[in-house]
Structure 1
Amino acid sequence: MSAGNGAGPRAVPGERETDEPDALYERLCAYAGRPAAASAPGRDPVNEPMIRHWCEALGHPVPPDGSAPATMLQVWTMAGLAGPGSGRSGAYGELLATLDGAGYSSVVATDCEQEYIRPLRPGDEITFDAVIDSVSPRKTTKLGTGYFVTTRMEVRVGAALAGTHRFRILKYRPARRRTGESGSAADRARESPPERPRGIPLRPRPVVNRDNAGFWEGVQRHQFLFQRCATCAVPRFPWLPGCNACGSAEWRAVAAFGHGTVYSYVVMHHPPFPAFDPPYAVALVELDEGVRVISNVTGVRHDQVRIGMPVELEFLRVDDDLELPVFRGAA
């Protein structure tokens, strides 16, 4: 079984190569093929509390056999706040430091591909090997100019391969905004969506595919559509080709009334991204219909957002070509 959200840097809109000579790229290429980790141990054994927290956050039931959901594969390899320890070699850190030193200090994850060989169960102790797969030539994207860095990882329990993970990030220098602009990008879009001032970057475009196209068609009609399984009636969001409760591929689209509460939230301060002006709140909203969605909270300041706050769906046009569902809160 495998999963992925794209096969390459196309995940960042507007990307194009530059034709200028690039001495930095020659230095970066020397890192390709170097190990980023060798038989590194996972920071924690596979454990029930982490599985439960993951499933609760995603609204996914814990698998009946107690195993970790396959998509948790990367979780067990993360170093967390411990930084570059956990057995990782210095090559990857050196590569990122080289990019930071050259001014490419912003980072965004662009895509990943995973292959699942065997389930991970509580008590399993994983090790992983990682290699720097490639560094792209310098690219110009809507976010800015930078380099795509791809790593490959193999996750094992003992000698048995449990899964593989290919991960790609963009290390970039943000595109410059025109000086003299004030207020958040969302506020500017709300005030005058047809006339977007030159120099203000566009928000990243959503990735629309055959599995979620119906949702975005609903957004165009100012509807928030979730799926309800035709077999067991369990609601789900985001859109998936099959039910994560019973496995049925039969479903119907249902329009939510748009009322919900803030289930959890974070306030983004750093790093700054073009088209987003920190600080701003990003909330996990639980709709009355029982599904959860990640979106922005509007109508209140970031420091007024609270868990349990009632919110109501609205649609925010952020530029000429993009309208997004957001949730208005009451202070």
Structure 2
Amino acid sequence: MAARDEFGARLKAYEGRSAAVARAGRDPVNAPMIRHWCEAMGDTNPAYEGPDAIAPPTMLQAWTMAGLRGHTDRAHAYEELLDLLDEAGYTSVVATDCEQEYLRPLRPGDEITFDSVIESVSEKKTTKLGTGYFVTTRMDVRAGPDLAGTHRFRILKYAPVRQARRSSARQTPSRPRPVVNRDNAGFWEGVRRHTLLIQRCTGCGTPRHPWLPGCNACGSPDWDTVEASGEGAVYSYVVMHHPPFPAFDPPYAVALIELAEGVRMISNVVGVPYDKVRIGMPVRLEFQAYDDELVLPVFRGREEVA
């Protein structure tokens, strides 16, 4: 017990230490990056273009990234903390969540600087992945002298659970559950009833997915739903080979499906071998039950007939 307490105290000593000091964004806020972001996200909000454009608030962290070259003025406290956890056997890492607070809109021409601090290291926690520690960093992003926003990022550094010795009748791990919140609860309720519901703005008629509290096109908070026909096509895809996850059996295809209604969603393609999935392949919606509680929408691919 004393050894565990001593190790926890060593970790706690990193709280409040700097992970980055007065670093500068690689580029000022600029219109091309805003345009690329909006095109990738399918965000047509008029506030993000024109002479009075602002940057989408969710780009906050993008302006702090240094690209493949990284930042040369590295602070060592964060790396030391991760090395300490590695040496103690907590060798795996997973990002768990992030939180952002927006205080002032960013506009083209703003020069970005930021500081980062190790905000907290949790007590030892036991999760389904393994036992470890949650590490939270807080980044304060500034535009000139003004605090523009705050970005908190949390990871779990953990020792993986070893595969339990099973009898010959091995149990299949359960499929991960979706995160249901107040914004998307209606979508998952529809899935439970084998109905795929698409949000539609009642202000301008724009459909959207995933479900959001407001319209990206006109900003209206009012919406209704339409039921998807189930017809679609593969817009893009990847084949997952590694790393393996419990309840998944690689290789398998994960696709971005473009529905007939004009929205896109990520799901699995079933019914065809993973190496036969192609961009443009027509697919049809199905609902697949993974256990007594979990139902997910998947898409059955249809190979072209030669």
Q: TM-score, normalised to structure 2's length? A: 0.86
Segment of structure 1 superposing worse, 279-288 or 127-136: 279-288
1:251-277 deviations in Å (ceiling 9; x for gaps): 111111122222233344444443344
Counterpart residue number, 1:241: 213
Alignment equivalent of 1:131, drawn from 114, 117, 140: 117
Counterpart residue number, 2:59: 72
Segment of structure 1 superposing worse, 20-29 or 158-167: 20-29
1:313 aligned onto 2:285: yes
CA distance in 2, matches of 1:263, 1:327: 12
Counterpart residue number, 1:111: 97
Counterpart residue number, 2:145: 159
CA distance in 2, matches of 1:214, 1:273: 28
1:182-222 deviations in Å (ceiling 9; x for gaps): xxxxxxxxxxxxxx953x44333222122211101001011
The structure number with the bigger radius of gyration is 2
Counterpart residue number, 1:147: 133
Counterpart residue number, 2:223: 251
Residues 92, 79 of structure 1: CA spacing in aligned structure 2 closer, same or farther, 3 A cutoff? farther
CA distance in 1, matches of 2:202, 2:175: 35
Counterpart residue number, 2:17: 34
Q: 2:42 is matched by which residue type in structure 1?
A: G
Counterpart residue number, 2:76: 90
Residues 230, 278 of structure 1: CA spacing in aligned structure 2 closer, same or farther, 3 A cutoff? same
Shift of 1:140: 1.3
1:34-57 deviations in Å (ceiling 9; x for gaps): 111111112333233332232222
Query: Which runs of 5 or more residues in structure 1 are unaligned?
Result: 1-17, 182-195
**Percent identity over the alignment?**
70
Shift of 1:73: 0.8
CA distance in 2, matches of 1:300, 1:80: 37
Residues 320, 142 of structure 1: CA spacing in aligned structure 2 closer, same or farther, 3 A cutoff? farther
RMSD (Å) for aligned C-alpha atoms: 2.8
Residues 203, 101 of structure 1: CA spacing in aligned structure 2 closer, same or farther, 3 A cutoff? farther
Residues 221, 282 of structure 1: CA spacing in aligned structure 2 closer, same or farther, 3 A cutoff? same
| SS of equivalent to 2:153 | strand
Segment of structure 1 superposing worse, 229-238 or 319-328: 319-328
CA distance in 2, matches of 1:267, 1:233: 34
Q: 2:130 is matched by which residue type in structure 1?
A: G
CA contact (8 A) 1:177 1:201 kept: no
1:269-303 deviations in Å (ceiling 9; x for gaps): 44444334444433222211111112223334444
Segment of structure 1 superposing worse, 113-122 or 313-322: 313-322
CA contact (8 A) 1:79 1:86 kept: no
CA contact (8 A) 1:135 1:150 kept: yes
Counterpart residue number, 1:213: 185
CA contact (8 A) 1:42 1:86 kept: no
Higher relative contact order (CA 8 A, sep 6+): 1
CA distance in 2, matches of 1:161, 1:260: 44
Residues 156, 280 of structure 1: CA spacing in aligned structure 2 closer, same or farther, 3 A cutoff? farther
Alignment equivalent of 1:227, drawn from 199, 206, 210: 199
| SS of equivalent to 1:319 | coil
Segment of structure 1 superposing worse, 129-138 or 70-79: 70-79
Query: Which runs of 5 or more residues in structure 2 are unaligned?
Result: none
